[in-house]
């Protein structure tokens, strides 16, 4: 089975997010870069499927030259080829992103395209669905369990405490969420292989998505509440019970 996984280079966010001076981007001078946990799980899922059924995993990223770093980490985890859709570092909208990914997805005889349910940074919740429409393939989103047979796949997700199952003919697009698996750590041979592997580079000119334009970013005011310390250890329990009664959660 041939699987394509789409991953996006994003800053690693630790204790807080700082903005650039113009308020239009995240200050990355002090941070490293990574891909989102959902996408790490997408890579792991693809590698497991190919270990089980044969075939190979290709990873693709639309991003600046430096996104090669994220592609190489995916190669270290078991992907066998990588495509960098190289930009000048502009922020592509979801439509332009889907169009760029489509050029790779439509070319390679893929049975399955995996994406994250949402990107860690912009959180647009739509690139996978738009890509599926461009390909004319069925799509399932928010998937937390996946099983594949010869010509179809079964995808499951949670919906208000209920499991929803979708069955899709292949080829298909699936967006996954963290929790679908526990990703492995890269092995030493994997890392060595990733260092030597070739990354195909394709330049992609910037096009702006029509209609939706970001003007600025801001950090929401921290909901720092005035914590009342009810006490220390078990001695605080009577006060805690009164608070629970006050909030109406116990009668």
Partner 1 sequence: MTVFCLVEVDGDAVADASLRALTLARDLPGGLAAVTFADPPLAELAAYGAADVYVVSGIDGYAPQAWARALGGLLGGLDGLGDAAAAVPPAVVAAGTDRGNEVLAHLGAITGLPMAANCTAVSASPDGALAVVRQRWGGLLLEEAVLEAPAALLTVAADAVSAAPAAVPGAAAAHLVSPSLHAGDLAVRAAEEPAGAGGASLATARVVVGGGRGVGSAEGFAPLDELAALLGGVVGVSRVVTSEGWRPHTQQVGQTGTKITPDLYLACGISGAIQHIAGCSGAKHIIAINTDPGAPMVARADYAVIGDLHEVVPALVKALRSRA
Ligand X SMILES: Cc1cc2nc3c(=O)[nH]c(=O)nc-3n(C[C@H](O)[C@H](O)[C@H](O)COP(=O)(O)OP(=O)(O)OC[C@H]3O[C@@H](n4cnc5c(N)ncnc54)[C@H](O)[C@@H]3O)c2cc1C
- Least distance to partner 1, CB of residue 191, Å: 22
| Binding of residue 119 to ligand AMP (CB under 6 A) | yes
Scanning residues 68 to 97, which ones bind ligand AMP (CB under 6 A)? 94, 97
| CA-atom Rg of the chain in angstroms | 22
Cα 193 from chain centre: 24
Q: Does 37 bind ligand X (CB under 6 A)?
A: yes
Cβ-based nearer residue to ligand X, 1 or 77: 77
Q: Are 133 and 173 in contact (CB under 8 A)?
A: no
Burial state string for 200-238 with b = 16 or more CB within 10 A and e = fewer than 16? eeeebeeeebeeeeeeeeeeeeeeeeeeeeeeeeeeeee
157 binds ligand AMP (CB under 6 A): no
Q: In terms of DSSP H, where are the helices of 54-165? A: 68-76, 94-105, 127-135
> Choosing among ligand X, ligand AMP, partner 1, none, which partner's interface includes residue 62 (Cβ < 5 to 8 Å by kind)?
ligand AMP
Say which entry of ligand X, partner 1, ligand AMP, none residue 7 contacts (CB below 5 to 8 A, set by partner kind).
ligand AMP
Q: Cis link prior to 233 (omega < 30° from 0)?
A: no
CA distance 251 to 242: 10
State yes or no: residue 186 binds ligand X (CB under 6 A): no
For the CB of residue 178, give the shortest distance to ligand X in the complex, in Å. 7
- DSSP character string of 38-52: HHHHHHHHHHHHHHH
Residue 250 Cβ vs ligand X, minimum distance, rounded to whole Å: 22
Phi, psi angles (nearest 5°) of residue 196: -85, -25
| Closest-approach residue to ligand X (CB) | 37
Question: Which x/- pattern over 114-143 shows residues binding ligand X (rule: CB under 6 A)?
Answer: ------x-----------------------
Query: What are the C-alpha distances in Å from 130 to residues 100, 138, 155, 183?
Result: 11, 11, 19, 26
Per-residue contact track with ligand AMP, 15 to 44, x per CB under 6 A? ---------------------x-xx-----
Give the shortest CB-168-to-ligand AMP separation in angstroms. Answer: 18
Yes or no: say if 201 and 71 are a contact pair by the CB < 8 Å rule: no
Q: Name the site residues for ligand X (rule: CB under 6 A).
A: 37, 120
Q: Name the site residues for ligand AMP (rule: CB under 6 A).
A: 6-8, 36, 38-39, 61-63, 94, 97, 101, 115-116, 118-119, 122-128
């Amino acid at each position: 089975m041939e699987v394509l996984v789409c991953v996006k280079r994003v800053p690693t966010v630790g204790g807080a997010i700082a903005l650039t001076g113009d308020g239009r981007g995240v200050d990355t001078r002090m941070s490293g870069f990574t891909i989102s946990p959902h996408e790490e799980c997408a890579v792991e899922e693809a590698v497991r499927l190919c270990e089980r059924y044969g075939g190979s995993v290709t990873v693709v990223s639309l991003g600046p030259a430096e996104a090669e770093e994220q592609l190489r980490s995916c190669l270290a985890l078991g992907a066998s080829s990588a495509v960098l859709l190289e930009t000048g570092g502009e922020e592509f909208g979801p439509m332009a992103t889907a169009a760029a990914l489509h050029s790779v997805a439509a070319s390679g005889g893929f049975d399955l395209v995996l994406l994250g349910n949402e990107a860690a940074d912009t959180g647009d919740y739509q690139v996978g669905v738009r890509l599926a429409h461009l390909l004319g393939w069925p799509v399932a989103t928010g998937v937390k369990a996946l099983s594949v047979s010869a010509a179809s796949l079964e995808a499951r997700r949670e919906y208000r405490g209920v499991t929803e199952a979708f069955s899709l003919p292949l080829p298909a697009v699936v967006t996954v969420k963290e929790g679908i698996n526990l990703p492995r750590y890269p092995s030493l041979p994997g890392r060595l292989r990733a260092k030597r592997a070739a990354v195909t580079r394709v330049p992609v000119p910037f096009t702006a998505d029509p209609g939706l334009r970001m003007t600025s970013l801001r950090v929401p005011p921290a909901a720092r509440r005035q914590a009342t310390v009810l006490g220390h250890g078990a001695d605080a329990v009577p006060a805690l019970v009164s608070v629970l009664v006050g909030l109406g959660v116990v009668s």
